[in-house]
Structure 1
Amino acid sequence: MSQRKYFGTDGVRGEVGGPTINPEFTLRLGYAAGQVLARQHNPIRGRPTVVIGKDTRISGYMLESALEAGLSAAGVDVLLAGPVPTPAVAYLTRALRLAAGVVISASHNPYQDNGIKFFSAQGMKLPDEVEEQIEAAIDQPLGCVGSEALGRARRIDDASGRYIEFCKSTFPNELDLSGMKIVVDAAHGAAYQIAPHVFRELGAEVFPIGCQPDGFNINEGVGALHPEAMIAEVQKRGAHVGIALDGDADRLQMVDQAGRLYNGDELLYAIVRDRLAQGEVAGVVGTLMTNFGFEKRMKAMGIGFDRAKVGDRYVLESMLQKGWLYGGESSGHLLCLDCHTTGDGIIAALQVLTAVRRSGQSLAETVGDLKMYPQEMVNVPLQPGTQWESHPGLAQAKERVERELNGRGRVLIRASGTEPKLRLMVEAEDLQLAQQGVRELVAVDLTKR
């Protein structure tokens, strides 16, 4: 894959008013994407159509208008879904047989940021070669088709309703949530109108928080990044469980009635354990950060396990290559390909609740046989040009720590993707063993070879 100029691993993202997230660039991006999609589209099916969804950031209106104008200028029809979760756009793209879907969101970032990402007609990320074609077209002169070929735009009035029904369809017909008190925290984000309805319509008594967006408060003190608000509300209401999403609702955190927070590894385990009780589970994909205890438990259950690079994009790629249905990240991006084509916080929560309801156990009991290993991680500064991968002292220290662990843990050394730091992590059955291992790694002087 060639070096990207604009697209990162999750579309184009940045500060509003910066070099990419501004009206002019967004107009060009819409026009470039429209040209590429129009070239690939079969004319027998009529004009290509794209759906645009967004979260609740104030800049969403501006970027939506610019994208709409660019796509229309390229001869592409546009459907405007308004504020809906990222996975809702993936669903609508597939369900309406569209050429592509576009999401305007910066996920868990503060309101000053925004981003634009695309879904293919299959409800998955665009293939790399298509993104590269769009990149190549962005810097070309902006044009416009003739008036008779301009794209039209209209709003989808029932986008939220369609997606609510889709989410509910992933919960078993023979089960319901009656008698459950659930706190639902939508992070003042894209799911604020949707998430409470899903759980309420399945029978739960819902206490919504983070459902009053004002354009500026997305992810502010609420949601998956700040579960303290959800924990406090669960305890205040005496709720059985709390569900927290992030700004675009593709990430999940949950808490039980005792106030204990469950991360993505534990929630994924609850889902996999339930699916295994219903039939065969071939394998599960985690990431480099997935807890070693999860890996050991999968092997003990006879389930394949593989680690992908950090990022739900890489998890999905590995799942598709292996033909496996379940995967996720410790951060709460969970994928169940027997339900949806992409990570979905609401649907993941419903699968966890399916496990709880079907087993008759509490969330704590459902994951009770998963032993999470203590983790110790230290970030050390990384000087420019440091070849840490081939540093003999670091390699020797890693081998020494792994011998000491003797299969009772693991060592992970990786460079940060966002700052000049090296992350040194050790997981072990015993916290002191993990701490001792990290101390040995930190003692290596990377400036000397």
Structure 2
Amino acid sequence: MAGPKQDGKAGFVILIAHINMVLYSTSFWIQTGVMPYLSKRLGMDAIMFGNLQTTFAVIQLLGGPLFGRFGDLFGGRAALSLAYLSSGFAYLLMGLSTSVPLLFLSRLPTVFMHGMQAAQMIVTDLSSESERAGALGKLGLSYGVGMIIGSTTGGLLISNYGEPFAAYTAAAGCVLNTFVVMKYIPANTKPVIVTKENKSETAHSKSIFSVKEILRLLSIPGAASVLAIKTITGLPMGVFQSMFSVVAMDYFKLQAEHNGYLMAYIGVLQMVMQGLVVGWLTQRIAEKVLFLWSVLLISLVGLATALMTNIFQFCLICIPMSLGISAFYLITNSILTKIVPPTDTGAMLGLNMCAHSLIRSVSPTIGGFLFELYGFSSFGYMQFLVNLLVFFYILIRSPN
């Protein structure tokens, strides 16, 4: 964007996107606190609750690419509004749920509940390539603020007013967010480049449900390999995260209160790493170098996790773990948005979110199997071996 006036306007829009992210995250974590208590009150057992979580992940997996195409075709304001209205509708249905089928039904609107993806689209459109990883990382900082506010507020609302009221509060937050978007976010935030090349880029199918467009993006050099690496590297971490509540109770023997403190500690670490440290590193080290070494760091963290014996050691391991994970995810997001034309960043971010949803879909099953047969240490060894292989693969493929 050219000129100080435009730069100032872009900065204001990014600020609004961060405010949106805090509100979105606050609402999401309020309803996250509602879900286990409401499902238990409705008589769901652990297996059925796992099926509910898998249903959510599969629906998100299907919606990611569609949402990305929607954002590319209709602009940032429409994408954010769709994400927040979908979230609000899902939370409203959750509050109205008086049976298990209704609770499952409340997951259907989440097909377009991609608030982080929409905010990433806005920030990608308005940031330069050299600052993109840091700009995307700061969204993680805003998300973390909402996570802390939402978790605390949700617990208080559930304790004092019940699960339905907390769910309605989350829905109201999404409606408020939509009003903010309609008031302050411009209809289109993508840069306008009038050239023959740009015209050819925008001359592709205008359909949201376009398999051809998805295949075209995957055929761009580097896109499929980065997405594959992201999925393979992220799977062991997803397995560990899916089983963390079980690990906290059965392995560390933590009470609910202490588990809350641990989650808050991890949340603060992620905020610092995503919002400050990774951006600082990308200004001094090439992204491809950080990409490679973040994979190695994640691998070594896996080995340390397998060998640890107490909660204090785990708290220490969380520091390099948060750094490695934050750097890896932010840099892959940045790389993926740079290898496609500006007109396709939303769709590419949608495919990127598919990788996360795919991991969430299969992780609980794999995690439960490994934990039952081989114990907690198997998560760490899996992370170590898988990511070590990925590290050598990247090193051999890209020696420079």
TM over 0.5: no
Greater share of helix: 2
TM-score (ref. length: structure 2): 0.30
* TM-score, reference length from structure 1: 0.28
Specify which structure has the bigger relative contact order, considering alpha-carbon pairs within 8 angstroms and separated by 6 or more residues.
2
From the two aligned structures, give the one with the greater strand fraction. Answer: 1
